Amino acid sequence: MKILIAKDAGYCFGVRDAVNLAYDTANEKGDVYMLGTIVHNERVIENLDKAGAKVVEKIEQVPDGKTLLFRAHGTAPELWKEAKKKSINLVDGTCPLVTEIHHEIKALEKEGRKTIIIGDHGHDEVVAIAAQVEKPIIISNIDEAKKMRRLKRAGIVSQSTQMIENVQEIINILMQKVYDLRFINTICFPTRRNHEQIKELAVQCDVMIVIGSYTSANSKRLTQLSLERNKRSYQVTSSSELKKEMFDNCNSVGISAGASTPDEIIKEVVNDFIFIDEPIGKDLDQRNYIVSNSKIEQTGFIPQVSLKSGIKELIKGFSMIRNNYHGNV
């Protein structure tokens, strides 16, 4: 069975930095408190808790003299003000690309535009973006866009993990409802890159596996994009959710993972696939082939992937497959 792993599956740099910051702060301070989950992955939160990074729901739950870490999704200005009134240390783990969205939406408001956010209602990132301005309109789908009243001037930003297809469909509708409309594309580069990679993998492979928490908007969108192109697409949170019947009549499997999925879970899923080799001695398959590329080269065919690139892909795959009872790498 051929296994293809998306080049940039897993942590984006913003999540990786926030998680590392939580670990470093816990090691330095002994205890660190996080206002809500720092990322949407249960394994990560559990491991952070063991390391001394605790989740709280309210700032008042943080003891005096302790450290509060604001999460990657961003935080409302009112919460920053409330936290600064307490005798606690503050650490900002906000993704810099999310911070940029905060700047952009405030700039649109200063231009006298009604602010519109394309994003999921109630999502932590969207809540924090909305808190930066006065009474923004939040639109999650085309049905909501069709119901929006007409406006003279408006400015649009989007949740960083939105699908470009959803954003484009909504904007096409809003262009008919707003006389002077300005759109700033705030879908982050890691999201755009991961979306393009899974679109390619989904059509190349018989089965697609997306690894990520069911609370992760990014993971759910990857699964949606994959399902639109390959009906044999499955989202799992860990290797324990893989079922044998998923891979019936399957010769190739594509694997991707949400931006909040750590490398350790990706490796566990990859390692769960069984690689069969023959015992030392006589190979049961005695066929022998001498392979030549001369005929295809005579047609003028030029490979799109170089030998060097192929070797790099193999190295990445081998690095994720440990040598165990079921492995021969």
Domains identified in the chain and CATH numbers: 2-9+190-276+289-319 (3.40.1010.20), 13-94 (3.40.50.11270), 97-187 (3.40.1010.20)
Q: How far is 32 from 68, CA to CA, in rounded Å?
A: 6
Token digits of residue 288: 């022998």
Helix, coil or strand: residue 328: coil
pLDDT computed for residue 306 by the predictor: 80
**Has residue 311 got a pLDDT over 50?**
yes
The percent of residues above 90 in pLDDT, for the chain, comes to: 54
Query: Percent of the chain having pLDDT more than 70?
Result: 91
Q: Which run of H or of E encompasses 254?
A: strand 252-257
pLDDT in tens, 76-122: 999 999 999 989 999 998 999 999 999 999 999 999 999 999 999 99
What mean pLDDT do residues 243-267 have? 91
pLDDT of residue 329: 44
Cα–chain center distance at 241: 19
What's the pLDDT at 35? 86
pLDDT of residue 77: 92
pLDDT in tens, 269-293: 988 775 544 455 555 566 666 677 7
**What six digits make up the tokens of 268?**
């566990």
Phi, psi for residue 298 in degrees, rounded to 5: -65, -20
Q: What are phi and psi of 299, to 5 degrees?
A: -80, -10
Cβ contacts of residue 30 below 8 Å, gap of 6+? 52
State yes or no: pLDDT of 228 exceeds 70: yes
pTM above 0.85, yes or no: no
From the list 104, 125, 165, 278, the catalytic residue is 125
Is 266 a residue whose pLDDT tops 50?
A: yes
Does residue 196 have an active-site annotation? no
Q: Average of pLDDT values for 31-44?
A: 87
